[in-house]
Amino acid sequence: MDLSAINPVLLVASLMVAATPILLAGIGELVVEKSGVLNLGVEGMMITGAICGFAVTVETGSPALGFVAAAVGGALLSLLFAVLTQVALANQVASGLALTLFGLGLSALMGQGYVGIKPPSTPKLDIPVLSDLPVVGRILFGHDLVLYLGIALVAAVWATLKYTRAGLILRAVGENHDAAHALGYKVIRIRTLAILFGGACAGLGGAYISLVRVPQWTEGMTAGVGWIALALVVFASWKPWRVLLGAYLFGGVTVVQLNLQAAGVAIPVEYLAMSPYLVTILVLVILSADKSRAPASLGRSFHAAH
Instruction: Give the CA distances from residue 210 to residues 47, 95, 99, in Å, rounded to whole numbers and listed in that order.
Output: 9, 26, 20
According to the binding rule CB under 8 A, does residue 221 interact with another protein?
A: yes
Find the DSSP H helices in 61-116: 63-82, 92-110
CB atoms within 10 A of CB 78: 32
Buried b (16+ CB within 10 A) or exposed e, 195-234: bbbbbbbbbbbbbbbbbbbebebbeebbeebbbbbbbbbb
The Cα 286–Cα 284 span in angstroms is 5
Query: Between 266 and 295, how does the x/- string for binding to another protein read (CB under 8 A)?
Result: x-xxx--x----------------------
According to the binding rule CB under 8 A, does residue 134 interact with another protein?
A: no
CB 110 within 8 A of CB 232: no
Smaller CB separation from another protein, 270 or 290: 270
CB 230 within 8 A of CB 250: no
The Cα 73–Cα 176 span in angstroms is 30
Shortest separation between residue 211's beta carbon and another protein, angstroms:
11
Stretch that binds another protein, among 75-83, 130-138, 195-203, 257-265 (CB under 8 A): 257-265
Smaller CB separation from another protein, 244 or 253: 253
Stretch that binds another protein, among 138-146, 192-200, 258-266, 289-297 (CB under 8 A): 258-266
The amino acid at 151: I
According to the binding rule CB under 8 A, does residue 93 interact with another protein?
A: no
In the list 60, 89, 91, 121, the residue contacting another protein (rule: CB under 8 A) is: 121
Shortest separation between residue 38's beta carbon and another protein, angstroms:
21
According to the binding rule CB under 8 A, does residue 226 interact with another protein?
A: no
Smaller CB separation from another protein, 129 or 266: 266
The amino acid at 174: G
Instruction: Assign 18 to helix, strand or coil.
Output: helix
According to the binding rule CB under 8 A, does residue 216 interact with another protein?
A: yes
Shortest separation between residue 108's beta carbon and another protein, angstroms:
6
Diameter over CA atoms, the chain: 67
CB 302 within 8 A of CB 177: yes
Stretch that binds another protein, among 9-17, 26-34, 195-203, 278-286 (CB under 8 A): 9-17
In the list 97, 133, 139, 214, the residue contacting another protein (rule: CB under 8 A) is: 214
HEC sequence for 228-294: HHHHHHHHCCCCHHHHHHHHHHHHHHHHHHHHHHHCCCCCCHHHHHHHHHHHHHHHHHHHHHHCCCC
Smaller CB separation from another protein, 115 or 136: 115
Stretch that binds another protein, among 58-66, 162-170, 172-180, 207-215 (CB under 8 A): 207-215
According to the binding rule CB under 8 A, does residue 261 interact with another protein?
A: yes
According to the binding rule CB under 8 A, does residue 108 interact with another protein?
A: yes
Q: Which residues bind another protein (CB under 8 A)?
A: 5-7, 10-11, 14, 18, 21, 108, 111-112, 115-118, 121, 209, 213-216, 218-225, 254-255, 258-259, 261-264, 266, 268-270, 273
